[in-house]
Structure 1
Amino acid sequence: MIRRRALGLLAPAILIGPAQAAEPGLDALLGRYAGTPADGVTRVAYGRWKASAADMAALDAWIAEAATRRPSAMPRGEAFAFWANLYNALTLKLVLERYPVRSIKDIRSTGVGLDPRQFLGPWRTRLVTIEGTRMSLDDIEHGTMRPTFRDPRVHYAVNCASIGCPNLPLRAWRAASLEADLDAAARAFVNHPRGAALLAGGGLRVSSIYRWFREDFGGDDAGILAHLRRHAAPPLADALRNVTRIAEDAYDWALNDATPS
């Protein structure tokens, strides 16, 4: 069970503290290997990254330093940024260690006994110890971030190394700019065809994220549509005024690789 001490955040204020001192190291790695081409989908040069022993070690060092921090003592914004950055760094490490793979779902969870979910992807493997608790990616996202922050924008902050996922940020999340950056990430995804797209017959296709986690987006189609309208820009915003239900959902699990085979 996840220790709920991590949920006891001090204050809602967004502050910069010592816990963010190492973020420039993650910035450098993201800047070196991640980029967003004209199609609007951020991709990672996993092959180049894996070929650099120094930068593989730099990612390991960033994660090891993060594991010394105490998110339970952080203000809310700083804790949100901490967990999102840790999730993304661990996901990158998982993929890099097993690269080349066609999809993150080709990586199974380990150390979980007979849990059948081990075959669905690596999200159950416990990867890091935070404040004495050994944690998996599922523990971070679903056991900590979603119930703690109760903010649908969690889904725009964490990246699962897939084309269908909201973009990996090109720099580490920071408390000081968190609200603006989360809103920008939401707008970027909602207004991209993999977030929401009008079909030829007038129906609406959305990312499966909105269906899988509908409780975070209002609980039903009406709630999802309200969320989409909140972040939509013209012409999507205009089209959504007449939409009352979602026709279908889709998700692309292909690896967000800058140089796919």
Structure 2
Amino acid sequence: MSRFIMAGSTLARLALIGFTLLVTLFTSLSTFAAPKSELWSYWQASNENSTQTVSHQEWQNFLDQYLVIQGEHHLIRYQAVNDQDKTALKSYINHLASMDPRTLTRQEQYAYWVNMYNAITINLILDNYPIKSITKLGGFFSFGPWDLDVITINQKALTLNDIEHRILRPIWNDPRTHYAVNCASLGCPNLQAKALTAENTEALLNTAARQFIQSSKGVELSGNTAKLSSIYEWFSVDFDNEGGVMAHIAKFKPELAQFNGKVEYDYDWALNQE
């Protein structure tokens, strides 16, 4: 009889351990930890005397064909992308990967990295479609694909996190970068209908910032409560040079200039699909 009691006790302990592990795993997968801005110095070089330009026409062709605007959301018709256009998208990404971005001017580099990031993200979704959220990619123990090696440039493997947090954020120190890179989610700032170029980057960044802040997914006021995108919580340090998050937001939403009420955060990871 004692053996059965001991066996039952052991099973109960194992079940408790298993349950604890599942809870821990679920919590880790459900919590997004924002990476810090940490420079990868190899990519810091540029050539300001360069006259080389990068064509992003293939990316523009894709956006023209498959990006649609519905209300405050810019959505992608993933289910409609044909094999020819999937191949063209991969060709565009491979073309960028064949270049050495360090030979470009800073202006060309910024468009290069942002367009590459967004094209790779869309390509990842297409390779795994249908899927409800980008957070489902990356493996069982991962929250999304951001730490996967997704491209090799100059014989160096890069992840999406490398591009955003080790190149774009630390080199440019521009909080508007958060409105430029797109994570294929409804809560994310919209993927712009125009590919970035050295000439249109400044205008598009301001347009993207204004669109997001004036949308309910960016900033929503209700009485004395402001519900902000979680981007402003995850990356609040990036807005310090502008006087903080609320000072930055007030540039595009002046009524928040003197706001001192309650602040809440929210983010929608559902796929940005039509």
TM-score normalized by the length of structure 2:
0.81
TM-aligned CA deviation for residue 198 of structure 1: 0.4
Counterpart residue number, 2:26: none
Assess if the C-alpha contact under 8 Å between 2:39 and 2:170 holds in 1: no
Counterpart residue number, 2:62: 29
Name which of 214, 217, 242 aligns with 2:258. 242
- 1:72 paired with 2:102, answer yes
Name which of 222, 233, 244 aligns with 1:223. 244
Matches within 5 A, 1:160-175: 160-175=183-198
Output the aligned Cα RMSD. 2.1
TM-score normalized by the length of structure 1:
0.85
Shift of the 226–246 alpha-carbon distance from structure 1 to 2, 3 Å rule, reads farther
Assess if the C-alpha contact under 8 Å between 2:100 and 2:153 holds in 1: yes
Deviation per CA, 1:168-225: give whole Å up to 9, x if none. 11121101111111111111111111111102x32111100010001101189x6100
Counterpart residue number, 1:113: none
Assess if the C-alpha contact under 8 Å between 1:206 and 1:246 holds in 2: no
- 1:41 paired with 2:73, answer yes
Q: Secondary structure at the match of 2:194?
A: coil
Matches within 5 A, 1:186-225: 186-199=209-222, 201-218=223-240, 223-225=244-246
TM-aligned CA deviation for residue 2 of structure 1: 7.9
Counterpart residue number, 1:180: 203
- 1:100 paired with 2:145, answer no
Deviation per CA, 1:124-183: give whole Å up to 9, x if none. 110101122100100100111111111001101100000000011112110111111111
Matches within 5 A, 1:83-98: 83-98=113-128
Counterpart residue number, 2:42: 5
Instruction: Point out where structure 1 has 5 or more consecutive residues left out of the alignment.
Output: 110-115
Assess if the C-alpha contact under 8 Å between 1:162 and 1:252 holds in 2: yes
Deviation per CA, 1:40-66: give whole Å up to 9, x if none. 1100000011xx110110011001101
- How many residue pairs get aligned? The number is 237
Counterpart residue number, 1:17: 52
Assess if the C-alpha contact under 8 Å between 1:16 and 1:176 holds in 2: no
Q: Secondary structure at the match of 1:166?
A: coil
Q: Residue type matched to 1:91 in 2? A: T
Assess if the C-alpha contact under 8 Å between 1:35 and 1:43 holds in 2: yes
TM-aligned CA deviation for residue 257 of structure 1: 0.5
- 1:81 paired with 2:117, answer no
**Which has the higher Rg, Structure 1 or Structure 2?**
2
Assess if the C-alpha contact under 8 Å between 2:239 and 2:245 holds in 1: yes
**2: CA distance, partners of 1:205 / 1:253:** 16
Counterpart residue number, 1:112: none
Deviation per CA, 1:71-125: give whole Å up to 9, x if none. 112111111100000000000010000001100001125xxxxxx9x51110011
Shift of the 246–202 alpha-carbon distance from structure 1 to 2, 3 Å rule, reads closer
Q: Secondary structure at the match of 2:251?
A: helix
